[in-house]
Structure 1
Amino acid sequence: MSLNIQEWFGMIDLYTKHELLGGNAMNSRERVHAVLNHQLPDRVPNGLGGCETAGLHVIAYDNLQELMGVEQKPARVDTFMMNAVFEEPVIRAMDGDLILLASPNMCKSDLRGDADGQWKEQKLWGKTFSIPVQDYFSVNSDGYLVWDSCGGVICPKGSYYFDQNEAVDLMAEIEVPDPEQFHPRDTIEEKTLRNLENAAKKLYEETDLSLCLGESITDLQVAPGGMIGSMVLMMEEPDVMRALLSKCVEAGLKQIELLEQAVGKYVDILSVAHDFGDNNGVTIGEELWRDIYKPFYKQFFQGWRSITNMKINLHSCGSIASILGDLIECGVQIVNPVQTSAAGMSAEALKQRFGKDVVFWGGGYDAQLIDISSSYEDVYRNVYKNVKILGAGGNYIFAGVHNLPANMPEHHLKAMLDAYRDARDY
């Protein structure tokens, strides 16, 4: 594939100026700023662990600590997805450029700043980790790990993930909600805002890392009756769904105003999530998505961009290539996790179609494509190729596809990071 960097960006002069002014490599924050502003940095930034959906299961992270030669303290677990909180020594050791400031919608405890008393040690999967103090786990008579504080969901033997308690009843009657009685959260507690402000200020002043604030606001994933119920509602009562979405947009924008006042001068990226795709395409179909969701995402993202310079990082799993142009039109600036195993989502196709208009964050290592038995050499070749393709001309932040699994072999971790380091230069 041939990519004309000059034609795409006309931005080589940024790096040239940087070289003429001293010839030193950019620091992490400068590197990420360049990418976010569609300019060419000195190398592809490493965003592994920089948001909630660009990291590692805590078991894999524990192996990464050992691989990096970092003093191993009990890794902290964001129990929402059992992914690890990446600590600064690990980020430095792997040449990382981004740090996750907080994840208020997912993690019950603060990630940074004064988090004393908010974490406790817990044995999970035969290892000692640090978990939020509100979480409780036990082992039942069958030897299954039980998450007692989450409705008693269980993790079967040999697994690293928890099952749902109940199956979805596809025949359940859908109750149509009254939009007048729907009041999505539109505020953020003052204590939370001040904690975020203090932690962001400290990281900004004491490190050169780029800061990403995780999922913190009311999003547009309103789903009365669950995923199935909301799909039925879109078909049978579309105006009700639109009324709910309108309220979500209004609430989310009010929260962004509060976050801008608290951390806007420190934080580069703000994340929001909505899984539109599955492995084959847009789950509800492109036309229904455009009819129901697109007008509200356009209002949401344009309002967002009028309030703050914190870039929009949209996490959306699956095959979303058929609506990615629409999302870019709505105002999205970063897309994660770049699920290259999904239909129409190859690195080549995405970069060719959308590489000049949006920043891709992820796509380096796809656990659905790379077999666990793959050799170091096979993993290295795969990751090297993806980084070269997605990184060509800029507009790319390296990471795996979503949070990489617990059973990711250590030699895969090494191959992934070795390939990134060898492929990251332009």
Structure 2
Amino acid sequence: MSARDRVLAVLNGEVPDRVPVDLWLVPELVQKFKTQLGVNDELDIYRQLDIDKIVWLGIPYKGVLLKDPNEHASVNHWGVKHQKIAANDETGYGEVCFNPLLELDSVEQLDAYPWPNPDDFDYETAAAEAKKISQEFVTLGPWISIFEVYCQMRSLEEALMDTVAEPEFLHAALDHIAGVQGEMCRRFLEAADGAIDLVFISDDMGTQQSLLMSPSAFDEFIFPRLRQWCDMVHSFGAKVFFHTDGAAAPLIPRLIDAGIDVLNPVQHVCPGMDCRELKEQYGDRLVFHGGVENQKILPFGTPEEVAAETFQCLETLGPTGYLPCSCHFAQADTPIENIMAMIKTVQQY
């Protein structure tokens, strides 16, 4: 089977010739693999290593972004500013440094805010890329989010407070956020004409120990909008890939009811996220993606420990209905030999 056929088999509840293995790498690791393998194209990494890569796709923005020349910060189409923070001499991360909705306090101000215009995105270029990539790999895109975008625009603290103190304001803001991205996603799916296999919805609902918001808040603010998105995605024949880190177990039945198809990243070190229990409870209704622990074992363990961790994930989350991968992106200081141990363990399972 090809990489694409192998992943599609899992998504469709079928049994592939072997368990697929996906790979999530930060840019620094992508460059290390390019150098080691002697390739220039990132996709050639996955071709050489026989990775069943699920390829991420975005929609190019063609609108005008305003930037203060006196600031060392980039501004995205939501008006959120990011600045690069150096983690060490070789690695940097973008962090939010300005929340454009932070000082707003009325629905009228929200309505007057310059929200992104779905017309300002290049769907034809994105669709052409999707049609090309989908001949070889399963496609995933675009990245859309309900609450995560709001947290960036409002700040995490105020966003969480709004679920209790400012519900009218929060509903109005989420209507704008969901409306813009829903239309963007719809246009992309329409232009791609079947070349998008999965849509990535990202809304972290868990911390390392518990939920980020109460189930009742999820039901009020997230569930109806998520279900509407899932229905729209399914109407185009695509599936929903939902990302939430942390201890999100109490919300999984609600996510299933909303219509998600794939749950990522299965952070099993968090309370309630035991792989075997999740598989027993939801394995007939969900495909699991991720699982391989990457806060301690993947970056700091030995290759033998990584292999043992990967094998355990295969035994508990698989072998069917499971797409093994690191639990979120493998970070820049992760040894290549550890990543190879994960890959080989899956391919030899």
TM-score by length of 1: 0.69
Q: CA separation in 2, counterparts of 1:156 and 1:297?
A: 34
The match for 1:415 among 319, 326, 341 is 341
The match for 1:193 among 113, 123, 140 is 123
Q: CA separation in 1, counterparts of 2:301 and 2:115?
A: 46
The match for 2:169 among 240, 243, 246 is 240
Q: CA separation in 1, counterparts of 2:98 and 2:114?
A: 28
Q: Would the alpha carbon gap of residues 367 and 202 (structure 1) be closer, same or farther in structure 2, given more than 3 Å must change?
A: closer
Q: Would the alpha carbon gap of residues 183 and 148 (structure 1) be closer, same or farther in structure 2, given more than 3 Å must change?
A: closer
Q: Identify the residue that residue 26 of structure 2 maps to in structure 1.
A: 57
What CA RMSD, in Å, does the superposition of the two structures yield over aligned residues?
3.1
Structure 1 residue 71 and structure 2 residue 26: aligned?
Answer: no
Correspondence 1:8-407 to 2 at 5 A: 26-48=1-23, 55-65=24-34, 70-73=37-40, 87-104=42-59, 153-158=84-89, 160-162=91-93, 164=95, 175-178=105-108, 179-181=110-112, 184-185=115-116, 187-189=118-120, 192-204=122-134, 207-215=135-143, 217=144, 219-220=146-147, 221-223=149-151, 225-306=154-235, 308-363=236-291, 365-370=292-297, 372-392=299-319, 394-407=320-333
Percent identity, aligned pairs only? 21
- Asked if structure 2 preserves the Cα contact closer than 8 Å seen for 1:249 and 1:299, the reply is no
Q: CA separation in 2, counterparts of 1:269 and 1:235?
A: 33
Greater Rg, structure 1 or structure 2? Answer: 1
Of stretches 176-185 and 221-230 in structure 1, the one that deviates more from structure 2 is: 176-185
Q: Identify the residue that residue 143 of structure 1 maps to in structure 2.
A: none
Q: CA separation in 1, counterparts of 2:96 and 2:11?
A: 41
Aligned amino acid, residue 379 of structure 1:
V
Q: How far apart are residue 400 of structure 1 and its match?
A: 0.5
Aligned amino acid, residue 22 of structure 2:
G
Q: Would the alpha carbon gap of residues 88 and 66 (structure 1) be closer, same or farther in structure 2, given more than 3 Å must change?
A: same
- Asked if structure 1 preserves the Cα contact closer than 8 Å seen for 2:59 and 2:123, the reply is no
Q: CA separation in 1, counterparts of 2:119 and 2:321?
A: 32
Of stretches 147-156 and 332-341 in structure 1, the one that deviates more from structure 2 is: 147-156
Q: Structure 2: which 5+ runs fail to align?
A: 63-70, 75-80
Q: CA separation in 2, counterparts of 1:372 and 1:87?
A: 21
Deviation string 1:83-132 (CA, Å, 9 cap, x unpaired) is: xxx72211112222234252348xx89xxxxxxxxxxxxxxxxxxxxxxx
Q: CA separation in 1, counterparts of 2:6 and 2:159?
A: 41
Q: Structure 1: which 5+ runs fail to align?
A: 1-25, 49-54, 74-85, 110-145
* Bigger fraction of residues in helix: 2
Q: Identify the residue that residue 51 of structure 1 maps to in structure 2.
A: none
- Asked if structure 2 preserves the Cα contact closer than 8 Å seen for 1:253 and 1:304, the reply is no
Q: How far apart are residue 62 of structure 1 and its match?
A: 3.4
Aligned to 1:213, what secondary structure does the other structure show? strand
TM-score by length of 2: 0.83
- Asked if structure 1 preserves the Cα contact closer than 8 Å seen for 2:82 and 2:97, the reply is no
